[in-house]
Amino acid sequence: MFGPGSQFHELFDDPRWALAMVRATVLEAAHPQIGGALIDNSTFVTHPWRRLRNTFLSLQRMFGADDQVRAKEAARLNRLHARLKGRDASDRPYDAMDPGVRAWVVATLFESAVTMCRLSGSPLPPSAVERLYVEFRAYHAALGDESGQLPPTLAAFWSYYDRMVEEELESTEAMRIILYKLFDHLPAPPLLQGLPTLWAIGRAVVGPAIGAITVASLPEPFRRRAGLPELLGAGTLMQGAYLTAGLARFLPEGWLRAQTIADLLALSPGSDDPRARTVQALQERMKRAGALLRLITPAPFQPEPAAPEPGQRSAEEFFRDVLDQTGDGYLTWPDLAAMARELCGRLDLDEPAETRLYAAFADWWRELQTALDTDGDGRVSAAEYAAAAPSLAGPALIRTAEVLFDAADKDGNQHIDAAEYRALFRTGFHRDTTTDSALYTRGVFVRDFLSFMSGRRHSTPYDPLLADA
């Protein structure tokens, strides 16, 4: 069912997943409950690369050969989903633990895997489709969900899928954001943030193309009901894109490994990984080339804006880059919950430690709400935050830093060593971070965390953790 030899394992490093995952995410977001949960809780708009890597790692754990790893990941996902419930903008309830909702997520992944092969001109043989469906049903069962939510046979699945598409899916706000806003405003991955012009040009070309390709690949009945326009030539563009991605499978082995690509997307500029240094060297050469081009073709003079003090960011920048994790323009509990979720995932915490960290962040949210929510609407706006110019280092934030230290200090020796440091920050341990000590002590850790969260200072380890996309 899982690991090497499975049908899914044969497709895991397939470059066509780059298109298929976008398509599956759109179909998920078109479900009213999933769409509501995404709008209220997800960081997919502000931190898409983080979300992509976390999804990849979760699939890798669930479809791997290690039963213990799979059971632990399933328990983690269930705890995460149990926290995602509420009411959407139309006052309709959503619950990420709803059995039908969870079955639909698995269904979109399976159907998009089959569709990506068909659209690229190399459809899976019927026996392989049957085998893949059995594996996805096993994945669904590993999550502990009710067996009757996904049909028992492949023939019954297609009837279920058609009914969901024709009767349940809607043109939700989350779906429209993914199709028409996400790629237009897609932030650069960490290693390309120093090349804003190059990234903006590439995004302006590729973003609309991905949107058109995704729309053209969606089921026709849903496109009609949702009023999604199919641009002239979009079908040809879609088939060409899937065919090109399919041909990339024949590149030398290892060139397009999903693990390698995910790691590159997650590398921070300050990482000690040799690949990060290689990409940074390439960045410097491209910057010099860009400077030479501007020298040859000078633009009209424009005064340079005043540069902030080294290491400082304004209150507005801090609110946007760090506090507003969901990107809706307000600070609410889901923003701090997103921080806790990322930290728990980085540290691979078990249930008791995870609960303590969430509780600490919940106390911090209540402290922030009491201090900053001047109009009493239950959220903190960017204006309320900037006007107060608060010192956020209250008792609850200090407690959050201490709980985070305890979670990172796996061996409980009151020091964070190199391995524990890397687990949290995904970068090498830097001696200068801890002044004269080779170990990260509790006091230094708490001081650095408070400096970042209340002093609005840029931080080499914390920016990739909480601010970068």
Q: Which domain holds residue 213?
A: 7-250
First-to-last C-alpha distance (Å) of the chain:
34
Q: Do 38 and 169 have their domain in common?
A: yes
Contact indicator for 218, 230 with CB cutoff of 8 Å: no
Q: Do 228 and 120 have their domain in common?
A: yes
Q: Do 242 and 336 have their domain in common?
A: no
Q: How far is it, in rounded angstroms, from Cα 222 to Cα 205?
A: 26
pLDDT band at 55 (very low <50, low <70, confident <90, very high): confident
Give residue 194's pLDDT. Answer: 65
In the chain, the number of structural domains is: 2
Is 66 part of a structural domain of the chain? yes
Of the listed ranges 145-154, 337-346, 377-386, 448-457, the one predicted with least confidence: 448-457
Q: Do 320 and 190 have their domain in common?
A: no
Q: How far is it, in rounded angstroms, from Cα 3 to Cα 397?
A: 42
Q: Tokens 């633009």 sit at which residue?
A: 299
Q: Do 223 and 327 have their domain in common?
A: no
State pLDDT tens for residues 167-215: 999 999 999 999 988 877 787 776 666 667 777 888 888 888 888 999 9
Bridge partner residues of 457 (DSSP)? 312
Taking 70 as the threshold, does the pLDDT of residue 435 lie above it? no
Structure tokens given for 384: 């309320």
pLDDT band at 396 (very low <50, low <70, confident <90, very high): very high
User: Which amino acid, residue 334?
Assistant: P
Identify which of 313, 360, 364 has the alpha carbon closest to the alpha carbon of residue 467.
313
User: Cα angle at 56 between 247 and 50, to 5 degrees?
Assistant: 115
Q: Do 340 and 439 have their domain in common?
A: yes
Q: Among 250, 276, 297, identify where a domain stops.
A: 250
Is 262 part of a structural domain of the chain? no
Q: How far is it, in rounded angstroms, from Cα 207 to Cα 190?
A: 18
State pLDDT tens for residues 102-153: 999 999 999 999 999 999 988 999 999 999 999 999 999 999 987 778 999 9
User: Which amino acid, residue 188?
Assistant: A
Neighbour count for residue 131 (Cβ, 10 Å): 17
Contact indicator for 445, 403 with CB cutoff of 8 Å: no
- Most confident among 38-47, 156-165, 261-270 (mean pLDDT): 156-165
User: Which amino acid, residue 22?
Assistant: V
* Residue scoring higher pLDDT (340 or 469): 340
* Alpha helix segments (H runs only) across 302-347: 315-318, 333-347
Length of the chain, please?
A: 469
Q: Among 212, 229, 250, identify where a domain stops.
A: 250
Cα of 218 vs its chain's centroid, Å: 22
Is 90 part of a structural domain of the chain? yes
Give residue 181's pLDDT. Answer: 84
CA atoms within 13 A on the CB side of 121: 11
Give residue 308's pLDDT. Answer: 46
Residue 122 CA: distances (Å) to CA of 115, 237, 247, 339: 10, 17, 10, 41
Q: Do 345 and 235 have their domain in common?
A: no
Taking 80 as the threshold, does the pLDDT of residue 219 lie above it? yes
